[in-house]
Amino acid sequence: MHLDHCIEVLRANIMCTSDIMPILIELDPKAPFGERADFRSNHKCRNFWEIRQWVIDHTAIP
């Protein structure tokens, strides 16, 4: 039951945000691994169904 709820929350989040913006990495010698994520890019809400249709239209069939 709990697992179903977790999966549903993940599904809803993916469908609602549909963010296709990549998260860029910057070199940062002060960071633990020498790099950090750059979250300063502007994000835009997307339409999940339009993204889904684009993927279907552009899928390479083996």
43 falls in which pLDDT band (50, 70, 90)?
low
**Interatomic CA distance for residues 24 and 60, integer angstroms:** 27
| Mean of all residue pLDDT scores within the chain | 81
Sign of torsion over alpha carbons 55, 13, 47, 21: negative
**Interatomic CA distance for residues 54 and 13, integer angstroms:** 19
Cα 18 versus chain centre, distance: 7
State if pTM tops 0.75: no
pLDDT, tens digit (0-9, with 9 covering 90-100), for 19-36: 666 778 889 999 888 998
7 falls in which pLDDT band (50, 70, 90)?
confident
Which residues, in sequence order, are bridge partners of residue 21?
none
Asked if residues 38 and 24 have their Cβ atoms less than 8 Å apart, the reply is yes
